Structures are given as structure tokens and as C-alpha cells.
Amino acid sequence: MSLSDIQDEADVRAPHPVQGAASFSKFMAVLQIIADSPGTLDIAQLTKRARFPRGTVYRLVSALIAEGLITQSGESGTFRLGPRLLQLAAKTWEDSDLRTIARDFLVSLRDATDEAVHLAVPSNNRMVYIDKLVGSSTVQMKTSIGGQVELHSTSVGKAWLSGLPDERLLDVIKGLELKRHTANTLTTPEALLAELKRTREQGFAFDDEENEPDIRCLGSPIFNRQREPVGAISVSMPVYRHDARRHELCARLVRQTAKRITAELSRIL
């Protein structure tokens, strides 16, 4: 085989740029920025984060709004993920092996506590709710499937963090902003690490009005066969329904339920 033949064969095997890939990457970059900071960025802030020319960001945003992939607030001018994107994501969550495996266990947990229960998975340094069941009370949390919450201020987030090996945990915490949501929010790495140590020891995380005033939650991590945390479950309730007896009951049940889901997940997947 001649040198030219070898070069021709290499040219055939070499990857060629896909038409439209650069534009698609820009769309995805804008979507990711909005997903990471829902309802907080206007067009100027979005342009600064995206580092694309202002005209490019305008065109990208206009196309995304037209397709229903993002929405813009008429009052603040900030952006959120749109209904079409959430509908597409919901179809994936409906087919999720974890969601399917966990469903019956979540129903039992909801029935035993008569409180709201959530199933969440990690996504870009946040947790995303992929299932929710509510109790009989008319007073419930304003959460929804597809909603994103932060790691440091929620029981599902702290539960998932507690399952990480130390080196990975430290890397993740370095990337967190640790925003203050209430007077009880943990806003320093030292305080968060101390809390995660307690979480590991007791087997559940406790959100003591750290994400929302008047709401307390208890959560435990779910692991796969490799003992990697793949999600978390939680029981949530208003402060007036939380006392020492309810705390002990919900802590025991959320730990047991997470262990049962982990065992079933390890058996099937």
C-alpha cells in the first residue's frame, strides 16, 4: 500500500464536522445556563454567562421561546425551562428504571406517613424530582415533578451528597454556591461537611427549614450495585406536623424505604 493510499484511508476514517453542530452546541449551552439558574437571569445576564455576542443570544433565545423550550417572565424578563422541554423530560422520567422500581415503595412510605414523599436524582449539581406522592392534608409543599432543588439546602440533596466517597464529595462541594435561602441554611463548606458526617452516621438527612420556611424534610440516599448514590427519597411536612415522635417515625421509615429500593435496584440492574 502506498503512502497516498494510507492517507486516503485515514481521511475516510477521520471524523468530519457535523453540519449544524456548532449551532446546536450554542443552543445547548444557553439551555444549560437557564436550567442551572431558573428564573434569575435576564437577557443581559444570560449574554454575560453564555459569552456569545448579544445578537447571537437574542437569536438563540427567540428560537427556543418559539419552540416552547424556554419561557420568559413578562415582569422580570428572566428565563425558565419551557413546558415542551419538561414534557419531553417527563417522558424519560416515566420510563426511568429507578422511578419504576421505587414507585411501590414510595406509595407504602406515603401511606405510612400520610405526608408528601419525593424521589430525586442528581443533575448538574442539583437534584431533580422525578416522582412525587402527596398525603391527605390540604397543606402541601409547592414542589413538582421536574422541579430542581439545591444540594446543600434540601434533605434529598444532602442525602445524595452523604453517599459520595470523600474525594468526590469535596470536589462537588467546591462547585456549589451555598446560597442562603432561610436563616437555617448551611452556607459554609465546614458546616455542610459536619452535617453530612451526621447524615452518614444516622442514615438520613434532615432539612430543618433550610430550603423553605415552615417546611421540614427527612431524606435517605439510594445506591446502585456499585454502591454509588444514584438518587434519594424524602418525606416532607409543615413544621406544625413535625414533632419528636413524627421525626423518629419518618426517619426510620425513610431509611428502611431507601434500603429496600437500593436492594431491589441492585437485584434488577
What DSSP letter does each residue of 80-102 carry, written as one string? EE-HHHHHHHHHHHHT-HHHHHH
Segment 102-117 mean pLDDT: 97
Give the HSE-up count for residue 186: Cα atoms under 13 Å, Cβ half-sphere.
22
Q: What is the pLDDT of residues 7-49, one digit of tens each?
A: 444 444 445 555 567 788 999 999 999 988 888 899 999 999 9
Q: Assess whether pLDDT exceeds 90 at residue 91.
A: no
Assign 219 a pLDDT band (cuts: 50, 70, 90): very high
Count of C-beta atoms within a 10 Å radius of residue 3 = 7
Residue 71 identity: T
Average pLDDT, the chain: 88
Q: Give the Cα separation of 190 and 237 in Å (integer).
A: 27
Cα Rg of the chain (Å, integer)? 22
Q: Assess whether pLDDT exceeds 60 at residue 146.
A: yes
In terms of pTM, does the model score above 0.85?
A: no
Assign 4 a pLDDT band (cuts: 50, 70, 90): very low
> What structural domains and CATH numbers belong to the chain?
15-84 (1.10.10.10), 96-268 (3.30.450.40)
Count of C-beta atoms within a 10 Å radius of residue 202 = 14
What's the burial of 51, exposed, middle or buried (CB within 10 Å: 0-12/13-18/19+)?
exposed
Q: Give the Cα separation of 247 and 206 in Å (integer).
A: 9
- At residue 23, the pLDDT reads 82
